[in-house]
Structure 1
Amino acid sequence: MSKQINVALIGNPNTGKTSVFNQLTGLKQKVGNYPGITVEKKEGICKLPRGIRAHILDLPGTYSLNTTSLDESVAVELLLNKNDKDHPDVAVVISDVENLKRNLLLFTQIKDLKIPAILVINMADRMARTGISLNIPLLEEQLDTKIALVSTRKGTGIETLKELIFDYKNLSNRPLIDVKVIALDYFERLQTTFPKEDLYKLWLVITQDVNFMPIEKIPIKERATFATKSKSELKRLQQKETILRYQFINGILKESYKVDLAAAKGLRAGFDKVLTHKVFGYLIFFVILLSLFQAIYD
């Protein structure tokens, strides 16, 4: 095993990614900028068992690999370019237990890049008061990964995460979704034209302006030609990809993720029960509207 493991910490904004980074690295971190741009680069060192060190790179928050900003493109470029010195041996994808469905979109995309990936479900301390229950073994099986249930507020789950990072070579790098189903004919022609390139990586390169190692077009005996689609058509296919991924995610969470408001605990849960009650909820809504009406016209 290498003496240092490259770890990319990636996730949607507001999932507690930086808190996980801080707990992994402590004071062993530094902040700079990516070359040529003003995007902040945060990196640090985490000590693992048997003297192994992990180089942790806290990537800018991104909702998906379909980038819309310079910050997001930084993350995509690193994941695509194996020649980058910081290219991850393993990706740690941070999610929020209350927004797991939305966060899993990014996770499925990273898995389809065939990068070993660990899923961190953060803010686990909120599960009891929101009535959320998770079947972790089933979710691990469905996502073909390992999961660390973490609460950065309480400091739990970080040691489990370190163990999973240490053992990253035993993670599966099999993709979750066959990208050909997005547009079968288009992707088959793409694969024929670039037979040595990973199909999903090619798709990401085509659909956005990111720096990537040169892709050599291999001559085809049948003299096959490949013409990319218009921007509007590529955008439509991106949307189709997103829909397909959410269909996959919905099927998984239907079995492994449950929300029982009746079992929720705490003040917030109590308010939710009252405000969503089939009788009292409407009465409260009516009183609020009446109060607003009187405040405006009196």
Structure 2
Amino acid sequence: MAVGLKKDTLHIALVGNPNSGKSSLFNALTGLNQKVGNFPGVTVDKKTGMSELAPGHAVNIIDLPGTYSLYPKRGDEWVTYKVLLNQDPSIKADMVILLVDASNLKRNLLFCSQIIDLKIPVVVALTMMDLAAKKGIEIDVDGLERELGIPVVAVNPRKNKGIPQLKKMVEMRARQINLAPPRAFIANQMQANGAIQDVKRLFPEISDYTAIHYLINHEHFDLPQNVQNRIEAIEADHTFNHTRIQADEILQRYGRIKQIMQHTVSEPDPLEKTLFTERLDKLFLDRTWGYIILLGVLFLLFQSVFWIAQFPMDAIDWTFSQLGGWLGHQLPEAWWSDLLINGLLAGLSGILVFVPQIMILFGLITILEDTGYMARISFLTDKLMRKVGLNGKSVMPMISGFACAVPAIMSTRNIENRKERLLTILITPLMSCSARLPVYTILIALVIPRKDVLGIFGLQGLVMMGLYMLGLVMAMIVSYVAKWFINLKEKSFFILELPIYRAPRWNNVVVTMINKARIFVMDAGKVIMVISLILWALSSFGPGHRSDVSARYEQQMQQHPDQAAALKKEKQAAMLENSYAGILGKVVEPVIRPLGYDWKIGIALITSFAAREVFVGTMATLYSVEGGKDADRQTLRQRMLSARREDGTPVYTLAAGVSLMIFYVLAMQCMSTLAVVRRETRSWKWPAIQVVYMTGLAYVVSLIAYQLLR
């Protein structure tokens, strides 16, 4: 009997095999009404979003991790499994939208058949129909729906085709929410009838197939101890054999799937010419050309960050320098005007000037992911990774580390081997994240001339790529050494399904660029701004003897009015040096002097432990306070270029600049990364090891670089 839609919000689980188009469908259904969190008790991402099936009928869509079957192996697969088996106390899935890849129908129907036998209300979204057509595969959708006994809707989320029909079907199915699929896919009760019946006496509402899973995986379910003992007794009474049952079930399912495909699917001769994707893979996955193309792609990536972002960055920098100069001459000399110009405005310029590069970097990475090339990088580098104790799955977190180490480390959950996962976590912070990009940019602009190499390659872009490659090479070396000290022995397998090549979804690229820029401005920006204001206070105030310094210079300016301008500049430098920030910098200066750094850089290194990108905000604040109104119309780069040591030599020489860039490549300077490593490893041991080895490595290599180049 049909029932109306429930008053409470309907919860619909979105499930499917990896690379079946699940993310695209989730985005198409929910748009920007999405939230990202973690499943309670496990470190696996949880994406949820609201979707309106019809006016006034909103549902909650839960995007579950991709899985190939109901026999989980990884942590993310267990998340999906527990939700489908109704064993996750935080999520109750009222219905399932199951994605089935039409171009890999046989494999996808295995998972589909298991969902059917759980007796959960389900609607199948048949994706990749365009790819199936290219392969010469023809599917009778109506016939498939009859054979399966559940609704089937063909969709193309990337082109928004079939989405209204899918919503309509889900709404109709929601009105019959209490009606499970009418027939079982296979005769599950024949597997172990006696044991199934005994379990169903404990849980009368479950299906025969669900009872089998209670027998196999009840230890992983949150059940009372007396119920656990009863299931154990049922297994013993009926000599329930997990392995035999699972093997028999899979054979029966594939036998039934073969029959269905004979009736509903027309496939071409397998000897027909290969697809465009396969022809491209012969080039991109070649052991020689593949690596050459990969280096070319990385080179273009980093060159583009400079080429495209140069003009908007110069415009933002010029705007803030002009605004600072104008305010400096319009506002009276007071502490609040100094706070506004040298605190707030300097901090804000240190944030916004790098937004173009952040957007471009993330936009290009999104294009690589959308086109399917990112997965090829994992496959191509698997052999190299194994030589240093990793495997191809380690590459994706490492590449993600170019954006941010925090989600990159979280993505290592997909690595089943514990040793390889731990090694990946340990070395991922060596990848140059987007937070380092502002540091590299300002230092490269200071010490590397803007000229071409061989007439076509920008020297600054080559140096930028060199910094990223240095982090990658050092990560390989560290992993090779560390693998001998981590005594975990597990077999390692690398199985990766390569997605087809597709044109990037430009709307997705634009949305990602805007979101990443917003995150940078709101999250990193808040940290930069707070530290900029704290630094302004530390730089503007100091111990009692600071007033004596001020009085001495005032007296000299009265005695020598012809030298007032020079004395005023000396006074500002002396006041900064005798401030609380200056005293702190002088304390650390002896340790960092061998690296070519002065006390101002020492302050920046300390503040950078909150977040690496704070370096630029720190420099902006320090040089603004030191320069006063006379420097308000100068850009940060101009102020840093004119910085001098006590002996009159430039602070930012080639040797000092390269040393500082190398330090930022290798040092652990991110509290958020340490926090996520602690959460993922459930120990403070590994974050402590990271701080020690990365800081020591950064100091030694930077010292060598400075001494060689000075």
**TM band (smaller chain):** 0.7 to 0.9
Question: Which residue of structure 2 aligns with residue 16 of structure 1?
Answer: 21
1:131–1:265: 8 Å Cα contact kept in structure 2? no
Question: Which residue of structure 2 aligns with residue 155 of structure 1?
Answer: 160
Deviation at 1:102, TM superposition (A): 0.6
Structure 2: how far apart are the matches of 1:38 and 1:231? 36
Structure 2: how far apart are the matches of 1:258 and 1:145? 21
Which residue identity does 1:241 align to in structure 2? E
Deviation at 1:227, TM superposition (A): 3.3
Which residue identity does 1:81 align to in structure 2? N
Secondary structure, counterpart of 1:91 in structure 2: strand
Structure 2: how far apart are the matches of 1:267 and 1:234? 40
Question: Which residue of structure 2 aligns with residue 53 of structure 1?
Answer: 58
Secondary structure, counterpart of 1:77 in structure 2: helix
1:22-33 mapped onto 2 (5 Å cutoff): 22-33=27-38
Which residue identity does 1:132 align to in structure 2? I
Secondary structure, counterpart of 2:251 in structure 1: helix
**What do residues 146-168 of structure 1 show as CA deviations (whole Å, max 9, x unaligned)?**
11111223221111111111111
Worse-superposed segment, 93-102 or 227-236: 227-236
Which residue identity does 1:239 align to in structure 2? A
Question: Which residue of structure 1 aligns with residue 263 of structure 2?
Answer: 255
Which residue identity does 1:203 align to in structure 2? I
For the aligned residues, what is the CA RMSD? 3.0
Assess, with a 3 A threshold, how the Cα gap between structure 1 residues 163 and 85 changes in structure 2: closer, same or farther: farther
Question: Which residue of structure 2 aligns with residue 278 of structure 1?
Answer: none
Instruction: Specify which structure has the bigger relative contact order, considering alpha-carbon pairs within 8 angstroms and separated by 6 or more residues.
Output: 1
- Pick aligned residue for 1:135 from 132, 135, 140: 140
1:207-218 mapped onto 2 (5 Å cutoff): 207-208=216-217, 209-214=219-224
Secondary structure, counterpart of 1:92 in structure 2: strand
The normalised TM-score by structure 2 is: 0.34
Structure 1: how far apart are the matches of 2:156 and 2:48? 21
1:186-225 mapped onto 2 (5 Å cutoff): 186-188=195-197, 190-191=199-200, 194=202, 196=204, 198=206, 199-208=208-217, 209-214=219-224
**What do residues 83-122 of structure 1 show as CA deviations (whole Å, max 9, x unaligned)?**
8453222101111111111111111111111111111111
Assess, with a 3 A threshold, how the Cα gap between structure 1 residues 82 and 89 changes in structure 2: closer, same or farther: farther
1:121–1:148: 8 Å Cα contact kept in structure 2? yes
Question: Which residue of structure 2 aligns with residue 97 of structure 1?
Answer: 102
Secondary structure, counterpart of 1:78 in structure 2: helix
Q: Which runs of 4+ in 1 moved over 3 A?
A: 82-85, 169-172, 183-191, 212-217, 227-232, 264-271
1:64–1:106: 8 Å Cα contact kept in structure 2? yes
Question: Which residue of structure 2 aligns with residue 227 of structure 1?
Answer: 235
Structure 1: how far apart are the matches of 2:62 and 2:23? 10
Worse-superposed segment, 123-132 or 250-259: 123-132
- Pick aligned residue for 1:2 from 6, 17, 29: 6
Assess, with a 3 A threshold, how the Cα gap between structure 1 residues 258 and 67 changes in structure 2: closer, same or farther: same
Which residue identity does 1:93 align to in structure 2? L
1:30–1:42: 8 Å Cα contact kept in structure 2? yes
Which residue identity does 1:103 align to in structure 2? N
Report the structure, 1 or 2, having the larger helix content.
2
Deviation at 1:230, TM superposition (A): 10
Secondary structure, counterpart of 1:119 in structure 2: strand
Secondary structure, counterpart of 2:62 in structure 1: strand
**What do residues 231-275 of structure 1 show as CA deviations (whole Å, max 9, x unaligned)?**
99312211111111111111111110111359x99963997xxxx
- Pick aligned residue for 1:113 from 112, 115, 118: 118
Report the structure, 1 or 2, having the larger strand content.
1
Question: Are residues 1:66 and 2:66 paired?
Answer: no
Runs of 5+ unmatched residues, structure 2: 228-232, 280-710
Aligned residues: 263
**What do residues 179-238 of structure 1 show as CA deviations (whole Å, max 9, x unaligned)?**
1222345435555x5472523222112212432455976xxxxxxx73348999312211
Assess, with a 3 A threshold, how the Cα gap between structure 1 residues 216 and 52 changes in structure 2: closer, same or farther: farther
Assess, with a 3 A threshold, how the Cα gap between structure 1 residues 177 and 184 changes in structure 2: closer, same or farther: same
Question: Are residues 1:123 and 2:128 paired?
Answer: yes
The normalised TM-score by structure 1 is: 0.78
Question: Are residues 1:182 and 2:191 paired?
Answer: yes
- Identity, in percent, stands at 35
Secondary structure, counterpart of 2:276 in structure 1: helix
Structure 2: how far apart are the matches of 1:152 and 1:215? 45
1:194–1:216: 8 Å Cα contact kept in structure 2? no
1:9–1:21: 8 Å Cα contact kept in structure 2? yes
Deviation at 1:69, TM superposition (A): 1.7
Question: Which residue of structure 2 aligns with residue 164 of structure 1?
Answer: 169
